[in-house]
């Protein structure tokens, strides 16, 4: 059938309500909900404008919650599926990613809890956790668009060592990253597979498959993990 786009802003309650009502009026089963709206910012927490932190959480955490609440009744009727787009950043602390990693860690726990809460209705809940992927979202963090360029020069000096290495490191990771097809394949499997995974760890972080780093994150002591992550 035809693809019918429905425009909504996950931060605005009325647009989410309107979108949910539109789909209900179509009288077709809603078989899947993919929460892929997201913002990314990479700055040390001390340098982050509070309004920017609030905006990031409004999209990455509260936006997902808002959409799930309004679409869940339809998913319950169809025993549908929810797929949230997280990040390996939820498991791997990295300098400059406090806000972003924190939002994705919150989404991680929301996903795990939803999976338990919705099991009585046979609603599958999965999370896709990419490493670096070539997307416009990633490109906005580099070069002239890098958030640190908007920071007061005096405060910027406090983190100059991080700034000097961050741009180079991020550019290298971006150059080695696969395209969004890796996340698309995981999303399709989560929607179609009779027994979908609860987690799909995809893409890479520079030369390493993302799954190897998330495994290390679970196994290694924090101090050892910190030493390894500093190299990325």
How is 118-132 classified by DSSP, letter by letter? TGGGT-EEEEEEESB
pLDDT of residue 153: 83
Residue 228, pLDDT > 90, answer: no
Strands 204-205 and 124-130: unpaired
Regarding predicted confidence, which is higher, 7 or 228?
Answer: 7
Distance CA 232, CA 58 (A): 28
Count of C-beta atoms within a 10 Å radius of residue 109 = 10
Q: Is 38 within a domain?
A: yes
Q: Is 6 within a domain?
A: no
**Which token pair is 21?**
């009502």
Q: Is 3 within a domain?
A: no
pLDDT of residue 207: 82
Q: Is 141 within a domain?
A: yes
Q: Is 197 within a domain?
A: yes
Catalytic residue among 54, 104, 134, 159: 104
Average pLDDT for the chain: 90
Count of C-beta atoms within a 10 Å radius of residue 113 = 11
104 is catalytic: yes
> What is the number of domains present in the chain?
1
Residue 206's pLDDT band (boundaries 50, 70, 90)? Answer: confident
Longest dimension (CA), the chain: 58
* CA-based nearest residue to 204, from 177, 174, 172: 177
According to DSSP, residue 231 is labeled T
Residue 87's pLDDT band (boundaries 50, 70, 90)? Answer: very high
CATH number at residue 154: 3.40.50.720
Which pTM does this prediction carry?
0.90
Distance CA 126, CA 128 (A): 7
**In whole angstroms, how far apart are CA 201 and each of 124, 130, 162, 198?**
17, 6, 27, 10
Regarding predicted confidence, which is higher, 13 or 4?
Answer: 13
Q: pLDDT by residue (tens digit) across 39-62?
A: 998 899 999 999 999 999 999 999
Contact yes or no for 45/98 (Cβ under 8 A): yes
Count of C-beta atoms within a 10 Å radius of residue 229 = 18
pLDDT of residue 188: 97
Lowest mean pLDDT among 85-89, 109-113, 146-150, 185-189: 146-150
pLDDT of residue 229: 78
Distance CA 19, CA 147 (A): 32
Q: pLDDT by residue (tens digit) across 111-136?
A: 999 999 999 999 999 999 999 898 87
* Spatial CB neighbours of 214, under 8 Å, sequence gap ≥ 6: 88, 91, 92, 129, 201
Residue 214, pLDDT > 80, answer: yes
Catalytic residue among 100, 132, 159, 200: 100
**146-185 core/surface letters (b: 16 or more CB in 10 A; e: else):** bbbeebeeeeeeebeebbeebbebbeebbebbeebebbee
Q: Is 2 within a domain?
A: no
Domain housing 97: 13-229
159 is catalytic: no
Residue 76, pLDDT > 90, answer: yes
Residue 98, pLDDT > 90, answer: yes
Q: Is 212 within a domain?
A: yes
Count of C-beta atoms within a 10 Å radius of residue 68 = 20
Q: Is 5 within a domain?
A: no
**Which token pair is 67?**
């959409």
Q: pLDDT by residue (tens digit) across 149-201?
A: 788 888 888 888 888 777 777 778 778 888 899 999 999 999 999 999 999 99
Regarding predicted confidence, which is higher, 147 or 138?
Answer: 147
């Amino acid at each position: 059938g035809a693809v019918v786009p429905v425009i909504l802003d996950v931060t605005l309650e009325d647009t989410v309500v309107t979108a949910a009502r539109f789909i209900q009026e179509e009288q077709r089963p809603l078989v899947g909900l993919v929460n892929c709206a997201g913002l990314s910012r990479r700055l040390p927490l001390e340098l982050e404008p509070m309004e920017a932190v609030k905006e990031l959480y409004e999209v990455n955490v509260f936006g997902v919650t808002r959409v799930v609440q309004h679409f869940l009744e339809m998913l319950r009727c169809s025993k549908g599926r929810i797929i949230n787009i997280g990040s390996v950043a939820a498991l791997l602390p990295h300098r400059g990613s406090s806000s972003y990693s924190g939002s994705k860690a919150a989404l991680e726990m929301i996903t795990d809890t939803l999976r338990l809460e919705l099991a009585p209705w046979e609603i599958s809940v999965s999370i896709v956790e990419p490493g670096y992927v070539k997307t416009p979202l990633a490109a906005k963090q580099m070069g002239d668009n890098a958030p640190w360029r908007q920071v007061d020069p005096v405060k910027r000096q406090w983190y100059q060592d991080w700034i000097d290495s961050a741009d180079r490191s991020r550019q290298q990771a971006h150059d080695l990253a696969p395209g969004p097809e890796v996340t698309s394949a995981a999303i399709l499997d989560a929607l179609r597979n009779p027994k979908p995974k609860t987690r799909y760890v995809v893409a890479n972080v520079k030369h390493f498959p993302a799954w190897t780093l998330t495994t290390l994150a679970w196994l290694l002591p924090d101090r050892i993990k910190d030493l390894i992550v500093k190299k990325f």
